[in-house]
Structure 1
Amino acid sequence: MNTEVLIVGAGPTGMTLANELQLAGVPAVVVDKLPKRSELSKAGGVQSRTLEALDQRGLLEPLLATGDYPISAGHFAGIPLSLEHARHRLPWRSVPQVAMERFLEQHLAAHGVHVRRGLDLTGLSQDDDGVTATFADGTVLRSRYLVAADGGHSTVRTLLGAAFPGRAGTVTMVAADVRLRGADAPVMHTSSKDGHWAQIFLLGTDPEGRPLRRLVLGGPGSLPRDVPVTEDEIRDGLRAVFGTRLELLELRYARRITNAARQAAQYRHGRVFLAGDAAHVHLPLGAQGMNTGMQDAINLGWKLAAVVRGQTPESLLDSYHAERHPVGEIVLRNVQAQSLLLDREGTRDPDVLATRELFTALLQQQDVQRYVGDLLSGMAVRYPIPGAGTHPLIGLPAPDPKLGSTRLHELLRSARGVLLDPAGEFGELAERWSDRVDRIGQCPGTEPMLVRPDGYVCWAGEPADLAAALRRWFGEPH
């Protein structure tokens, strides 16, 4: 073996996975076909759950220290979503994907993990012991497991022949990072009477401190995806929607996006796993693609590490598909609903306009705001935890109680499990798993719970079920 895990693709998903494995001391190699890191920001925001995960790994403060990343305003299909009623510890941040990738790559390099670039995958095979990957330049790498994080046009997925059902794109839109004169609100969605529309979101600031925004233009007469986007097209699109109210000052980059919606039928293919856009693609809305991919990586990373280190049986890896495939389905469904409400083709269909008007009114209701906010922020995810009982915390992200001089999220920075034992009744049992689970006793005011390395509660409530939960998620005791 050249390495334990080969990660194909050095975007946010691949590098998040590499960090999870590095924390666990599992050797991994990250390869990418691009000769250098892309400067294109396909996503512009980081959701609450992803921010919590970064905080649980000690990465959030260093990330925020690298730039000015304001709290972004939420939206659903361009309809503003108030953050006033946010109930989560960490509200969304406007972090462009290019900044996230730069930070993650530099962090990995500081820990001795360097992306190997310019390696274009051409062949893939697997056997009972591992996976063999062949590249265009003749390089051959052998690993125990391989993870495809190589995007929506995944070469790994193609070589596997993996089913990728769904809908092909039927229309294109323009997405661009721009500086504008006249844009004042953090979120703007405006349409014209002839069906042209524009969305504008604040991304942050450029190195000179000037506001940088994401602009999406759509409407009648979309062009093929491979037609280059020009400055004149951007100016004409702004003029069609805003007249002379807005002026393009600088175009950083632009590309055409589609409303394609597909999801891999299986996320696991023997020793090969699909993650991020390799597993699911959809219209980019709310940075859900980047965030869902990073969460895929966090879910898979600790499980791969546990299996590689011989702590748990390989069957634990099946829970990756069982837990993350339903999450991908939910994301695709809400994006499809947003795509409809956007009237992306500029039809001005009265039924669509009436539905959008009704949904706009509904989003003024606090309960609806909370429901949609949880859906988009990743905080509504609840994993199925077989045999764990019905305690309301099971399957959800763990709360963050204060435990003496520290907090729970700080204890997860070692990527180990955590058992909260407020009454001190599980010491003898927990000692048998002490090489992979940290027990915190004498923490009054907290509920007894077992938290996985990814921050999700896998046991709470019935003491009799704790040993079974420890075995299921952390393997046989030492």
Structure 2
Amino acid sequence: MDTEVLVVGAGPTGLTLANELRVAGVPAVLVDRLAQRSTLSKAGGVQSRTQEAFDQRGLLEPLLATGNHPDGIAHFAGITLPLTRGRHRHPWRSIPQVVIEGFLEEHLAAQGIRVRRDHELTGLAQDEDGVTATFAGGGVIRSRYLVAADGGRSTVRSLLRAEFPGRPGTVTTVAADVRLSGDVPAMTHVQGDDGHWAALFPLGTDPQGRPLRRLSMGGPGRSLPRETPVTEDEIRDGLRAVFGSRVELLELRYARRITNAARQAAQYRHGRVFLAGDAAHVHLPIGAQGMNTGIQDALNLGWKLGAAVHGWAPEHLLGTYHAERHPVAAAVLRNVQAQSLLMDQQGTRDPDLLAAKDLFAALTHLRDVQYHLDDTLSGMGIRYPMPGDDQPLVGLPAPDLDLGPVRSHALLRSGRGLLIDPADRFAKVAGLWPDRVDRAGQGTGAEPMLVRPDGYVCWAGDPDTLEPALGHWFGEPR
């Protein structure tokens, strides 16, 4: 083997996975077909759960120190959810994808892991022992496992001939990074009486400290072929149709047309090859859910591949990646399709649709509705199916507990599991997995629980089921 894991694609998903493998002590190679990192913002928001995960690896504080990354209020189909402010430890934040990619790539380089660029994959073959990847120019890399993180038009998925069912795009809209002047709202979704609409949210500032915004817009007659260039005149015309003379374009930094295609791979695992991020699921980009879902794919898969490489993974463990993550992305596709419908992307102003949106907007004034939508959008409501999930905490993201001199999330930086043992009852059983599970919390008021390396509770409550839970997630005792 040239390496244990080959990661194809150096976007947020691939970079996060490479870091997870590094934390797990697994040799990995990260390749990308681009000769240099993209300068396009693409996604722009980071959910609460993703920030928690970065915090658990010690990455959140230095990431936030890279610039001005304002927080904001969650929205669903452009309807803001103000009652959710302050619900989670980390609010939704505006951090452009290009910033996240640059930060993660530099972090990996500081650990001696550099992206091998200008590597265009052309061939793929796997056998019982590993995967052979061939690249343009004749280069070959042999690995025990391969992960496709190479985007919505994934070469790996194509070479696998993997099923990618769903719906093709039926409409295009414009997404652009802009500087604006005038009476510019901080965050909004506005649709005029003629069906033209525009959505704005903050992207922080440019190097000169000037505010940048992501603009999305569409409406009647604005669904053009995806390859059609977006011009400054088109942006100005779209702004004028919605805001009149109140908002003016100062600078167009980047623009593209996006579609409402919605597809998801039927299987995330194909032998020794795994699909993650946009290679596994694509949808209309709303609320950066694609980027966040891909990062969470990587966090779920990384420690499991590490366990397989180190030889202690239970036989079923790699299979839980598809079982846990496929339903999550399926739910994302459904909520994005619902938002797309309510936002009337084509600007039809259909009376039935307007009536449904008015009713939905009225329902969002209810606290429980806002909380439900916030759980859906923030990632904090994800609950994986697990043995023992009749217990309230099992399957959910672990709370960040005060364990005296340290908080529990900081203890997950080791990449191992964490047994919180406040009454000091489980030293003997935990001692059977000393290389895979840390133990902490003695003398604190915390609840006993077992937390996986990705930050999800996998046992709580019944002491008699702790040892089976350790075996289920961390293999046979040493």
Instruction: Say which SS state the counterpart of residue 217 (structure 2) adopts.
Output: strand
Distance change in 2, residues 1:320/1:108 (3 Å): same
Q: Hey, what does 2:438 align to over in structure 1?
A: 438
Q: Hey, what does 2:274 align to over in structure 1?
A: 273
Distance change in 2, residues 1:302/1:289 (3 Å): same
Q: Hey, what does 1:330 align to over in structure 2?
A: 331
Q: Hey, what does 1:340 align to over in structure 2?
A: 341
Checking the alignment, whether the CA contact within 8 Å between 1:73 and 1:186 is kept in structure 2 is no
Alpha-carbon offset, residue 73 of structure 1: 2.6
Alpha-carbon offset, residue 182 of structure 1: 2.2
Q: Take 1:26 and 1:389, find their aligned partners in 2: how far apart are those partners?
A: 30
Identify unmatched segments of 5+ residues in structure 2. none
Distance change in 2, residues 1:461/1:445 (3 Å): same
Checking the alignment, whether the CA contact within 8 Å between 1:131 and 1:144 is kept in structure 2 is yes
**Superposition CA RMSD, Å:** 1.0
For the pair 1:249 / 2:250, whether they are aligned, the reply is: yes
Letter in structure 2 aligned against 1:459: W
Alpha-carbon offset, residue 450 of structure 1: 0.3
Matches within 5 A, 1:410-429: 410-429=410-429
Alpha-carbon offset, residue 311 of structure 1: 1.7
Q: Hey, what does 2:137 align to over in structure 1?
A: 137
Distance change in 2, residues 1:219/1:44 (3 Å): same
Q: Take 2:446 and 2:389, find their aligned partners in 1: how far apart are those partners?
A: 19
Alpha-carbon offset, residue 313 of structure 1: 3.2
Checking the alignment, whether the CA contact within 8 Å between 2:314 and 2:472 is kept in structure 1 is no
Matches within 5 A, 1:340-359: 340-359=341-360
Matches within 5 A, 1:167-316: 167-221=167-221, 222-316=223-317
Q: Take 2:291 and 2:392, find their aligned partners in 1: how far apart are those partners?
A: 28
Q: Take 2:177 and 2:74, find their aligned partners in 1: how far apart are those partners?
A: 18
Instruction: Say which SS state the counterpart of residue 403 (structure 1) adopts.
Output: coil
Q: Take 1:85 and 1:158, find their aligned partners in 2: how far apart are those partners?
A: 42
Q: Take 2:230 and 2:49, find their aligned partners in 1: how far apart are those partners?
A: 34
Alpha-carbon offset, residue 442 of structure 1: 1.6
Distance change in 2, residues 1:268/1:391 (3 Å): same
Checking the alignment, whether the CA contact within 8 Å between 1:180 and 1:247 is kept in structure 2 is yes
Runs of 4+ in 1 over 6 A off after TM superposition: none
TM-score normalised according to structure 1 size: 0.98
Alpha-carbon offset, residue 443 of structure 1: 3.5
Checking the alignment, whether the CA contact within 8 Å between 2:85 and 2:91 is kept in structure 1 is no
Q: Take 2:216 and 2:333, find their aligned partners in 1: how far apart are those partners?
A: 19
Letter in structure 2 aligned against 1:399: P
Q: Take 1:322 and 1:291, find their aligned partners in 2: how far apart are those partners?
A: 18
Q: Hey, what does 2:161 align to over in structure 1?
A: 161
Q: Take 1:290 and 1:55, find their aligned partners in 2: how far apart are those partners?
A: 17
Alpha-carbon offset, residue 315 of structure 1: 2.8
Instruction: Say which SS state the counterpart of residue 93 (structure 2) adopts.
Output: coil
Instruction: Say which SS state the counterpart of residue 251 (structure 1) adopts.
Output: strand
Letter in structure 2 aligned against 1:232: D
Instruction: Say which SS state the counterpart of residue 92 (structure 2) adopts.
Output: coil
Q: Take 1:216 and 1:439, find their aligned partners in 2: how far apart are those partners?
A: 48
Kindly provide the CA deviation profile for residues 376-424 of structure 1, in whole angstroms up to 9, marking residues without a partner as x.
00011000003x2511000000111100111010000111100011111
Letter in structure 1 aligned against 2:243: F
Kindly provide the CA deviation profile for residues 114-154 of structure 1, in whole angstroms up to 9, marking residues without a partner as x.
00111111100100000000011111110000000000000
Q: Take 2:153 and 2:82, find their aligned partners in 1: how far apart are those partners?
A: 35
Letter in structure 1 aligned against 2:140: V
Q: Take 1:66 and 1:83, find their aligned partners in 2: how far apart are those partners?
A: 29
Alpha-carbon offset, residue 441 of structure 1: 4.4
Percent identical across equivalent pairs?
A: 72
Checking the alignment, whether the CA contact within 8 Å between 1:15 and 1:105 is kept in structure 2 is yes
Q: Take 1:97 and 1:361, find their aligned partners in 2: how far apart are those partners?
A: 33
**Greater Cα offset, 61-70 or 176-185:** 176-185
Q: Take 2:326 and 2:334, find their aligned partners in 1: how far apart are those partners?
A: 13
Checking the alignment, whether the CA contact within 8 Å between 1:177 and 1:215 is kept in structure 2 is yes
Kindly provide the CA deviation profile for residues 324-351 of structure 1, in whole angstroms up to 9, marking residues without a partner as x.
0000011000000000001011100011
Distance change in 2, residues 1:426/1:153 (3 Å): same
Alpha-carbon offset, residue 269 of structure 1: 0.4
Checking the alignment, whether the CA contact within 8 Å between 2:133 and 2:141 is kept in structure 1 is yes
Q: Take 1:127 and 1:45, find their aligned partners in 2: how far apart are those partners?
A: 40
Distance change in 2, residues 1:152/1:245 (3 Å): same
Q: Take 2:242 and 2:444, find their aligned partners in 1: how far apart are those partners?
A: 58
Q: Take 2:118 and 2:312, find their aligned partners in 1: how far apart are those partners?
A: 35
Kindly provide the CA deviation profile for residues 208-229 of structure 1, in whole angstroms up to 9, marking residues without a partner as x.
1111100001112210001111
Checking the alignment, whether the CA contact within 8 Å between 1:130 and 1:143 is kept in structure 2 is yes
Q: Take 1:44 and 1:441, find their aligned partners in 2: how far apart are those partners?
A: 37
Instruction: Say which SS state the counterpart of residue 94 (structure 2) adopts.
Output: coil
Alpha-carbon offset, residue 185 of structure 1: 2.7
Q: Take 2:253 and 2:359, find their aligned partners in 1: how far apart are those partners?
A: 36
For the pair 1:88 / 2:105, whether they are aligned, the reply is: no
Q: Take 2:353 and 2:134, find their aligned partners in 1: how far apart are those partners?
A: 49
Distance change in 2, residues 1:210/1:441 (3 Å): closer
Q: Hey, what does 2:454 align to over in structure 1?
A: 454
Letter in structure 2 aligned against 1:240: A
Identify unmatched segments of 5+ residues in structure 1. none
